[in-house]
Amino acid sequence: MRAFSAPSKALLAGGYLVLDANYSSFVIALSPRMGATINSNPNGPTNTIFVQSPQFKGKWSYTYKDGVLSSLGKRNPFIESTMEAVFAFLSPSTFHCINITIYSDPEYHSQENTITRFSNNRRKFLFHEKDISKVPKTGLGSSAGLVTVLTTALLADFSKIDLESKTDLRTIHNLAQIAHCKAQGKIGSGFDVASATFGSIVYRRFDPMQIDGVAFEQRQIKDVVLQDWKMVAEKCALPEGIKLLMGDVMGGSETPKLVSKVLQWRRDRPEESLGVWKKLDEANMSLIENLNELAISSNYTDLLHFMSLHSVNSIAKLDHTSKDFLKSKPLLNVISSFQHIRKQLRIMGEKSGADIEPRSQTELLNECSDIPGVIGGVVPGAGGFDAICLLVVRSAIDDIIQTTKKNPAFDSVTWLDLEEESEGVQEENVQSYLFAE
């Protein structure tokens, strides 16, 4: 038996712009991971694949004969199209029965009505009462994680793959991207599948024409998967000492509705919207550059210490002597990049009628500007009422949480137990997924 896992994501900068290949986005891979174990069973029926997701009482079965994958019984579009893509790509002849088990970390889904189990006291898994399609999601990208880890497990079972090899990661990514688009019935920006594969990245999307109309047929899928998609997925990571803090706001928004409003405005007002696109892109790119600058600045530790004692608002009020210490230093630039991103997202929201940074979120993020140790924050991804995402000084985290507990403005916020974990898809110790019965 072998085990693999793929990370969840937060789109810290680049929402909406990432849909257009002219713009880059900043995707942070997060510690909650989707896992899969895979093993062959020589005693089971040949050319049969059993997939189960015990946390959601999910069981799906497939057979593969004469190049055709058939689903027996219950359907799961994401599992099914991953199987179809990988089998079309590999086109295996006879093979032993395959057993796959899916494991998802707690933060992907609402944790209501669950029973907790630990695997060898390593990982915690929640077992839900309801079927997977009925359990509310938190927006961390469960389907992208599922498709990516399943693609990896299947490829590893049938062939030799090296998760350190850029070529093999491209193959996993391209297959997973095709499978995910088929299951969703649309070609999105794909940033979630890209970060499930590569981890934390600066991402520029592939050309949608690349996979438009591709069929699960061996020659065609091989051609497409092995081509250069001309996308960009440059690995990156937050500077040490800076922590990503995600607050679930228990609101909920529908990404497709927000996206359609924004794209409609872009079509209706091409010139006006292009201005916003350009300014937002500048702010996004300056956030990435300034974080890199900050990480290599000679007085980095001093700057972080300073930040842990000051809030964004108190820094704005500092006199010149104190500011000289920071002047032309990247910390101030990171702070202002966040402010520019928020400003442009608010303009985009106002002009398009999409609630990207709704007033309640503006108020919350403004409150964060009064907390020492908070460098900046945004509404991640498509925005809306789902979540806020902050970058904070790691050493100040306990004080930050305490401060928010005392402030009623944060009553609706639940801080999620997650971190950046910049690694993409990886092999795991099987023991992490085995339960002592």
Ligand X SMILES: C[C@@](O)(CCOP(=O)(O)OP(=O)(O)O)CC(=O)O
Question: What does 23 interact with, of ligand ADP, ligand X, none (CB < 5 to 8 A by kind)?
Answer: none
Query: Exactly one of 56, 87, 300, 306 binds ligand ADP (CB under 6 A); which one?
Result: 56
Residue with tokens 């790119």: 285
- Are the CB atoms for 127 and 61 separated by under 8 Å? no
Q: Does 181 bind ligand X (CB under 6 A)?
A: no
Site residues (CB under 6 A) for ligand ADP, limited to 71-90: 76, 78
Beta strands (DSSP E) in 168-312 are 201-204, 232-235, 242-248
Rounded to the nearest whole angstrom, what is the least distance from the CB of residue 258 to ligand X in the complex?
7
Q: Does 102 bind ligand ADP (CB under 6 A)?
A: yes
Instruction: Identify which of residues 45 and 136 has a Cβ nearer to ligand X in the complex.
Output: 136
Minimal CA–CA distance to 4: which of 423, 420, 436, 429?
A: 429
Question: What does 104 interact with, of ligand X, ligand ADP, none (CB < 5 to 8 A by kind)?
Answer: ligand ADP
Q: Does 259 bind ligand X (CB under 6 A)?
A: yes
Rounded to the nearest whole angstrom, what is the least distance from the CB of residue 46 to ligand X in the complex?
38
**C-alpha R_g of the chain:** 23
Q: Which residues contact 23 (CB under 8 A, 6 or more apart)?
A: 14, 17, 204, 277, 281, 284
Question: What does 246 interact with, of ligand X, ligand ADP, none (CB < 5 to 8 A by kind)?
Answer: none
Question: What does 393 interact with, of ligand X, ligand ADP, none (CB < 5 to 8 A by kind)?
Answer: none
Site residues (CB under 6 A) for ligand ADP, limited to 125-144: 132-133, 137, 139, 141-144
Q: From CA 153, how far away is CA 35, in angstroms rounded?
A: 10
* Burial tier of 209 (Cβ tally within 10 Å: 0-12, 13-18, 19+): exposed
Rounded to the nearest whole angstrom, what is the least distance from the CB of residue 75 to ligand ADP in the complex?
9
Q: Which helix (H) or strand (E) holds 28?
A: strand 25-41
Q: From CA 417, how far away is CA 306, in angstroms rounded?
A: 25
Beta bridge partners of 393: 242
Beta bridge partners of 118: 124
Question: What does 255 interact with, of ligand ADP, ligand X, none (CB < 5 to 8 A by kind)?
Answer: ligand X
User: By rule CB under 6 A, what count of residues binds ligand ADP?
Assistant: 16
Instruction: Identify which of residues 81 and 404 has a Cβ nearer to ligand ADP in the complex.
Output: 81
How many Cβ atoms are within 10 Å of 46's Cβ, its own excluded?
A: 12
Minimal CA–CA distance to 307: which of 395, 222, 234, 220?
A: 395
Give the interface with ligand ADP as residue ranges (CB under 6 A): 53, 56, 58, 76, 78, 102, 104, 132-133, 137, 139, 141-144, 146
Give the interface with ligand X as residue ranges (CB under 6 A): 11, 15-16, 18-19, 139, 141, 188-189, 191, 255, 259, 381-382
